[in-house]
Amino acid sequence: MNQTPNNLAAFCWSIADLLRGDFKQSQYGRIILPFTLLRRLEGVLEESKEAVLAEHEKVQKMNLPEAAQEKMLLRATKSASSPDGLSFFNTSKMDMSKLGESDIKTNLESYIQDFSKDAREIFEYFNFGEFIGQLNDADLLWKVVQKVRTTDLSPKAISNHDMGLTFEELIRRFAEGSNETAGEHFTPRDIVRLTTSLVFMEDDDALTKSGIIRTIYDPTAGTGGFLSSGMEYVHELNPQAVMRAYGQELNPESYAICKADMLIKGQDVTNIKLGNTLSNDQLYADKFDYMLSNPPFGVDWKKIESTIKAENTLKGFDGRFGAGLPRVSDGSLLFLMHLLSKLRDASEGGGRIGIILNGSPLFTGGAGSGESEIRRYILEADLLETIVALPTEMFYNTGIATYVWVLSNKKSDERKGKVQLINGINLCGKMRKSLGSKRNEMSADDIATITRSFGAFEVVDAITLEELGLNKPAEQKSNRGRQSANPKTEAPKTFASKILASHEFGYRRISIERPLRESFQFSNGRISELRFAAKPLNAPMKWLYETYGNDIITLWTDDEECENYGVLTEHESEIRKYLKTHFSEIKEAKIKELLDRNIWLAQKQIMLKAKQLQELAPQGMGKAQCNDMNTYEAKLSIACQDQGITLDTKEKKQITTAVSWKNPEAEKVIKKTHKTKASPIYGLFAVDLDGKTQVIEYKTDGDLRDNENVALDPSQTVNNINEAYFKKEVQPHVPDAWIDANKKDDKDQEIGIVGYEIPFNRHFYQYQPTRDLVEIDADLDAVSAEIMSLLQEVHS
């Protein structure tokens, strides 16, 4: 057999022929992968096997701890082909040819237990012991072992590099055969190739030098696809380069596959960790040259919220999350900040990041939010190089829009202060067979188009794919149902690239205030509302008053001598039942308050005081409507003083709320006067009061409050930008508006809160003219005629 990686993978996967019928297709990989690993490890250990067994006999007599025994046995793995020794060993005298048929289950389990800890752990996380039992029960274990041992997977027959490619192909087949969970473990190869190329291509010259040593890291390692791709990329450039892989994975099975893949490739598997990267970073002290990641989209971090917030609060920028925290419902940006904290320092050569995110991190969260502050940190620190928009339906478990972000702390001079946006949403072709939600795939030409654009760092106006030489087959349209006589013209598929300054994604959100205008009137209707307390008791009290207050026997009156007013004791059970059904939000404490006569009497007294103020003459409030709320306090004070009425703060507030309302025709309500220079833009107006010019500040109307986003411009002062915008865009439409000067950014203390967003689609929007009305009318007429014809057939 020609031992190419694809041929080897096909041979190994042919074990599935034995499993078919007894196991599900999604289980094939869980059996084939560990058996392939076992055969490879056996081949790697063959040269040093006798030396390890001899050393093991000596070590056993020393009664040492396992860790000490492992160190001594690892030294015995040195050989001519591995002068530095191996990172694993096996102390069993058996191999796959000596397991025997009768006791094969027991022997195989014993054989695996005699591996060193790191290798043994891989089989444990594969749950290999469970599958050994199932294979034995199905009388398949011997047959599978015999099939596996017929192929030579030793280093003499297949190099580490080719064996890695073989294992990757097996992983791909496993992932594609497990569509329901593939997205949790496996990033499609086309996306991996694109992201890897974008991250590494800027360093191609450096990577071709002799003696090069680099590190690569994936905090969401999955099955190790990104790590393998990074090593493959460097190997193609420079076979002598050393690439050391690091990673952490949460899912035990994916962790086992990744660790097995790294072991096959000759990596130090102690650098592959199991656990939650965000809450328990097991490589916290390490920095890396290259980082690649495809974190889960839209996954909440509620379970680790306390840990993340504690790091943010206690460590700030000395930790990973100093820039801010996104909302708990989406932790994508937490992974991005984690990666940024792992960048090798620029003075030591810096690092580069490639991360796949959905659309949410681009624009979710307004100015001052955690997401906006994270984007602000990235852009103001000039860490973002490019964002590439990918086609939809590219992943196994989701069809949503996705983007590749490339970040670096070692930008070239031409890229400093700039961000490149690449629109590659049309660079794909339909797959012959869908894999879960993955219906599209990117060809080598598609990937090359994006990487060339990134490498050239140039603006590309919307250019059709035909002009690029990428002839894509037209999408098949459904021919079901009635077809339009004048179908809408499809927009041509294009590719484009834009280069923007980092500050162009920023804005300053200024608050626009408008004056409060209120009227007041001591009318009977408004005063009667004082009989009932404010929310949440208002509605239940109205129902109780209408139901029990108007009872002909126990009629509630406003006389001081009325003994029945507010007495509800004998109706408590039916009241509780009604409240539970119709006012379920009312808690027990509030129910007790409703049943207490004191609250009814207190509200009644407030209402009677308001009536007294209404009726008194000549100093009373009267029943007429007044459209100048500025006179309210004086009139109320005089009326109270004239009749000896005392209002506490609560009573005064309730009365004022009941008798006043917002009225756009009323006078502006003055908050206070200032002994300073007028500044209408910031809410200080020069007004003639009593024949004297005074500087007035008005109360604000919260319902009319608005926010305006003003683009950042480093060439001008903040106040000049804000004021110019206000005079042009706001003042002509609402002359009495002003900028709230108290709303300032926490960081620069300038007026307005800074925000950042990356409106990708807005930058690449292409206007498509609507269909002509004549065409639409013709279609409508045709449909109407068809409907009438069908109706006539029904009636005839």
354: three-class secondary structure by DSSP? strand
**pLDDT score for 182:** 43
**pLDDT score for 498:** 96
Q: What is the mean pLDDT of the chain?
A: 89
Confidence of residue 616 (pLDDT cuts 50, 70, 90): low
**pLDDT score for 2:** 52
pLDDT per residue as tens digits for the range 1-28: 456 777 888 888 899 899 998 998 888 8
State yes or no: pLDDT of 796 exceeds 70.
no
- DSSP per residue, 285-340: T--BSEEEE-PPTT---GGGHHHHHHHHHHHGGGSS-TT----TT--HHHHHHHHH
**pLDDT score for 82:** 80
**pLDDT score for 480:** 66
State yes or no: pLDDT of 477 exceeds 80.
no
Confidence of residue 507 (pLDDT cuts 50, 70, 90): very high
Query: Looking at 387-401, 439-453, 707-721, which range is the least confident one?
Result: 387-401
Output the CA–CA distances (angstroms, integers) from residue 120 to 34, 90, 299, 776, in the order listed.
11, 9, 32, 70
State yes or no: pLDDT of 554 exceeds 80.
no
Percent of the chain with pLDDT over 90: 58
**Is the Cα torsion angle 89, 92, 97, 99 positive or negative in sign?**
negative
pLDDT per residue as tens digits for the range 479-501: 666 666 666 666 788 999 999 99
**pLDDT score for 386:** 97
769 vs 199 pLDDT, higher one: 199
pLDDT per residue as tens digits for the range 260-303: 888 888 888 999 999 999 999 999 999 999 999 999 888 899 99
Confidence of residue 183 (pLDDT cuts 50, 70, 90): very low
**pLDDT score for 3:** 64
**pLDDT score for 180:** 47
Give the range with max mean pLDDT: 125-129, 200-204, 244-248, 643-647: 244-248
Side-chain half-sphere exposure of 324, counting CA atoms within 13 A: 20
Give the range with max mean pLDDT: 220-234, 442-456, 631-645: 442-456
Q: Do residues 231 and 245 make contact, with C-beta atoms less than 8 angstroms apart? A: yes
Query: Looking at 147-156, 373-382, 430-439, 443-452, which range is the least confident one?
Result: 430-439
pLDDT per residue as tens digits for the range 598-610: 999 999 999 999 9
- CA–CA distance, 575 with 591 (Å, rounded to integer): 9
pLDDT per residue as tens digits for the range 30-80: 899 999 999 999 988 988 999 999 999 988 888 888 888 888 898 888 888
Q: In terms of C-beta density within 10 A (0-12 exposed, 13-18 middle, 19 or more buried), how is residue 388 classed?
A: buried
pLDDT per residue as tens digits for the range 184-216: 556 888 999 999 999 999 888 888 888 889 999
Alpha-carbon Rg for the chain, nearest whole angstrom, is: 38
Percent of the chain with pLDDT over 70: 95
- Tell me which residue of 714, 712, 715, 680 sits closest to 696, measured CA to CA: 680
**pLDDT score for 1:** 43
Query: Looking at 377-381, 411-415, 622-626, 732-736, which range is the least confident one?
Result: 622-626
Note every long-range contact of 762-767, with CB atoms under 8 Å and residues 24 or more positions apart, other chains counting.
Answer: 763/421, 763/498, 763/500, 764/389, 764/421, 764/423, 764/462, 764/496, 764/498, 766/462, 766/491, 766/494
**pLDDT score for 266:** 81
Strands 692-698 and 670-674: antiparallel
State yes or no: pLDDT of 735 exceeds 50.
yes
**pLDDT score for 60:** 86
Q: Do residues 651 and 708 make contact, with C-beta atoms less than 8 angstroms apart? A: no
Amino acid identity, position 602: A
How would you label 524-548 residue by residue, b for 16+ Cβ within 10 Å and e otherwise?
eebbebbbbbeeebeebbebbbeeb
**Is the Cα torsion angle 598, 599, 604, 610 positive or negative in sign?**
positive
